[in-house]
Chains A and B, each alone.
Chain A
Amino acid sequence: GEDVEQSLFLSVREGDSSVINCTYTDSSSTYLYWYKQEPGAGLQLLTYIFSNMDMKQDQRLTVLLNKKDKHLSLRIADTQTGDSAIYFCAERYSGGYQKVTFGIGTKLQVIP
């Protein structure tokens, strides 16, 4: 079955880059997503990448995909205190109709 794993916690200083890592097991994944969740709120889609891409950049966000190793990362440049949140990695696989599997989430703490 499909499984998505992430580290639980990451702490960085304001202005530094943050890199949040994720591994997944389903090689037939079609899309991979990064969502951000602030306390008491729903999930905000940050970015997504097609499985046939290696990299996607969107302003301060860079997504790297290593399909061979089933490894996905999210890099946040010039991390700000407003970036403090929980970041979920998610994969959508081809085996189920639009079903998306989420990782447990990585809590990012930005230290001023």
Chain B
Amino acid sequence: GAVVSQHPSWVICKSGTSVKIECRSLDFQATTMFWYRQFPKQSLMLMATSNEGSKATYEQGVEKDKFLINHASLTLSTLTVTSAHPEDSSFYICSASGLAETDTQYFGPGTRLTVL
């Protein structure tokens, strides 16, 4: 149980385009989903927290107009990187929580974004 998927696994795009990353909880309802960014050899940086049906809460320094988050259902959240630039290249990881036991976060496999 507690499987979280992400799609795509990796994406290469041109500078100026927008990229959408999906995060799905496959076998449980995720009341809360989290989006992280990870730079090489560094820890995870929380970008935003989203609850189903409400606006995401962004961490300080994260541009909400650039990183659009939608959490339309209890099993799906999307992160759209708008007008991507090379500095947005990173590993993006989502996590989901919602199991009653501990509200532990279960992580997706990550999406590698490369912006040319």
Q: Which residue from chain B places its CB closest to the CB of A33 in the assembled complex? A: B104
Cα distance A102–B37 in the bound complex, in angstroms: 12
Q: Would you call B78 an interface residue if the criterion is a C-beta within 8 Å of the partner chain's C-beta atoms?
A: no
Q: Would you call B77 an interface residue if the criterion is a C-beta within 8 Å of the partner chain's C-beta atoms?
A: no
Knowing A48-B104, A97-B49, A100-B105, say if A42 contacts B110 (CB, 8 Å).
yes
Q: Would you call B74 an interface residue if the criterion is a C-beta within 8 Å of the partner chain's C-beta atoms?
A: no
Taking CB atoms, residues of chain A closer than 8 Å to B6 are 42
Q: Would you call B93 an interface residue if the criterion is a C-beta within 8 Å of the partner chain's C-beta atoms?
A: yes
Q: Would you call A45 an interface residue if the criterion is a C-beta within 8 Å of the partner chain's C-beta atoms?
A: yes
Q: Would you call A60 an interface residue if the criterion is a C-beta within 8 Å of the partner chain's C-beta atoms?
A: no
Q: Which residues in chain A, 69-112, are within 8 Å of chain B measured between CB atoms?
A: 88, 97-100, 102-105
Q: How many of chain B's residues have a CB under 8 angstroms from any CB in A?
A: 23
Cα distance A67–B22 in the bound complex, in angstroms: 38
Cα distance A88–B107 in the bound complex, in angstroms: 13
Knowing A33-B104, A42-B93, A43-B93, say if A88 contacts B43 (CB, 8 Å).
yes
Question: Do A40 and B110 touch across chains, with their CB atoms under 8 A apart?
Answer: yes
- Chain B nearest CB, measured from A101 CB (Å): 8
- Chain B nearest CB, measured from A2 CB (Å): 12
Residue interface bits A24-50, CB-to-B below 8 A is 1, else 0? 000000010101000011111100100
Question: Do A41 and B110 touch across chains, with their CB atoms under 8 A apart?
Answer: yes
Q: Would you call B97 an interface residue if the criterion is a C-beta within 8 Å of the partner chain's C-beta atoms?
A: yes
Q: Which residue from chain B places its CB closest to the CB of A100 in the assembled complex? A: B105
Question: Do A98 and B107 touch across chains, with their CB atoms under 8 A apart?
Answer: no
Pairs of residues from A and B, 10 with the lowest C-beta to C-beta distance, nearest first: A43-B107, A42-B107, A42-B109, A42-B110, A104-B43, A102-B43, A102-B44, A42-B108, A42-B93, A41-B109
Interfacial residues, chain B to chain A (CB-CB below 8 A): 2, 4, 6, 32, 34, 42-44, 46, 49, 93, 95, 97, 102-110, 112
